[in-house]
Amino acid sequence: MAHSWKIALALALAASTAAPALAEGEVNIYSYRQPDLIKPLLDRFTQETGIATNVLFLDKGLVERIQAEGENSPADIILTVDISRLTEAKDAGVTQPIKSAIVDTDIPAQYRDPDGAWVGLTTRGRVVYASKDRVAQDTITYEELADPKWKGKICIRDAQHSYNVGLIASLIAHDGEAKTEEWLKGLKANLARKPDGGDRDQAKAIFAGECDIALGNTYYVGLMMTNDKETEQKDWANAIKVLFPNSNDRGTHVNVSGVAMAKNAPNKENAQKLIDFLASGEAQEIYAEQVFEYPVMPGKEPSDIVKSFGTIKPDTLPLAEIAANRKKASELVDKVGVNDGPGN
């Protein structure tokens, strides 16, 4: 059964890295992360170790798939992009503790699960994209997004997307559930349209004049600025400036990309080698320079492109506290009807 799953996995790769002649086996990765974002890291890992990496990209249902596969699951590693998804994997019982001196040394405790179920690898800010032409101010708070002065001027992606749920969960932790509900009502009233698209689409909408400000992750700006395949994305990036919300008080909400080891990892030794590599200083530099994320290792700097956005002051709220509020956040999104758009 396990062998047939491996064959199926190999055929279904969303991205893979060819192993050199002296390959030392393989490691199977189930990923919520887009293949193009992790390819530079996996290429380097294979180059250095000879271990082939097989990636199955899923945009949803990753935990459910591992649960359904049970003991025969070929998954060695789970890569994901949000504290809520890391917590979901832990709570679902599809992970096993990571025991690594490299992780303990290189990754600060605030970015590690206390039980070892997951390790944060990078951070990204949930920031405001603002039109360079139509927005004069250079400071903003999340709370201000509910101010009627922005009526008809805000774009966001699906409010139930994990990036937005994480932000809303942080607001619940800071401001309480009642205030956050009122904030969501104000945000909804200020939307230019129904939530739609991804973070890059929000920058595109600002470029097109459909809205003046939007919520988005920092790293997408770097990806748009350097996109040589879809060059129109450079125009979207050039139309916006990055505002770091709440820089003058608690700081900007940050989330993590992270890794967990699957409970029944058939290639556990290789999986541990990959986790150690992803936590290493070398990988942190690749994240910074090629993926435009903030390294979590102390002393590692973001790329010059990311520095050009301005200085981020990260909210120090523990990620576990944010994750604890994610269910309430999701429920509030539905209660307020944010995804119905303005006027509904």
For 286-304, write each residue's pLDDT tens digit: 988 888 999 998 888 999 9
Query: What local confidence, expressed as pLDDT, does residue 14 receive?
Result: 38
pLDDT over 70 at 4, yes or no? no
Residue 220 annotated as part of some ligand binding site: yes
pLDDT over 50 at 33, yes or no? yes
Query: What local confidence, expressed as pLDDT, does residue 60 receive?
Result: 84
Write the pLDDT tens digit of every residue in 11-20. 444 334 433 3
pLDDT over 50 at 239, yes or no? yes
Nearest to 73 by CA among 6, 169, 155, 161: 6
Distances (CA, A) of 265 to 87, 91, 270: 18, 17, 10
Residue 163 annotated as part of some ligand binding site: no
Give me the mean pLDDT over the 54-70 stretch. 92
Domains contained in the chain, CATH given: 2-122+255-301 (3.40.190.10), 124-253+308-340 (3.40.190.10)
The percentage of residues in the chain with a pLDDT greater than 70, rounded to a whole number, is 93
Q: State the Cα torsion 196-198-203-204 to the nearest 10°.
A: -70
